[in-house]
Amino acid sequence: QSPPRSYIYQKRWVKLDPDYLRYFDSEKDAYSKRLIPVSSISRVTSVGDQKFEVITNNRNFVFRAESDADRNEWIRTLQQIAEERKSKALERTSLMSLATDSTTEPADKSGFLELRGFKHKLFVVVAGDKVFLYKNAEDYRLGIGITYIEMNVGNVKEVDRRGFDLTTPYRIFR
């Protein structure tokens, strides 16, 4: 960002699934640069020509589509999936009398690790069969991550007394 409210856009490939809005450098990438939980999306609004804002509980993300029609389709789809997710969460909460989102898996293990290719240590969370990468513990608390690795396609190999490789068909995380 340059001056306030002035954005420099970077072209990204964006995928939406039932749990996350994720963006990648290209459509060929297996691991995202950022993931936004659908459950954290509170509102999606148009903010001008081709632009729309995804408003979460803690942060706002501005996207620019290739056309106004494309922007409108993204807004409609994101609003629909966010509403469906909220109504399902409300049903679960009332049925189970829980105050928390029951789709959030508790962490089996979490902490800071060095990852080759990153300047700073990342906050890493193992939850169920996934390993989530976050820039820091605050982003973990906010639910805004970098990516996740599905361990059903990966394996772990000790490299030395302080290091290990997490190998997937797409990339080796060292």
Higher pLDDT, 96 or 147: 147
Q: 44-57, pLDDT tens digit by residue? A: 999 988 999 999 88
Whether pLDDT at 103 is above 50: no
The full 3-state SS of the chain, as one line of letters, equals CCCCCCCCCCCCEEEECCCEEEEECCCCCCCCCEEEEHHHEEEEEECCCCEEEEEECCCEEEEECCCHHHHHHHHHHHHHHHHHHHHHHHHHHHHHCCCCCCCCCCCCEEEEECCCCCCCCEEEEEECCEEEEECCHHHHHHCCECEEEEHHHCEEEECCCCCEEEECCCCEEC
Whether pLDDT at 90 is above 70: no
Give the model's pLDDT for residue 73: 96
Domains of the chain listed by start with CATH number: 13-95 (2.30.29.30), 109-173 (no CATH)
Mean confidence (pLDDT) of the chain? 83
Higher pLDDT, 99 or 129: 129
Q: 115-167, pLDDT tens digit by residue? A: 888 888 999 999 888 999 999 999 998 888 999 998 888 888 888 888 888 88
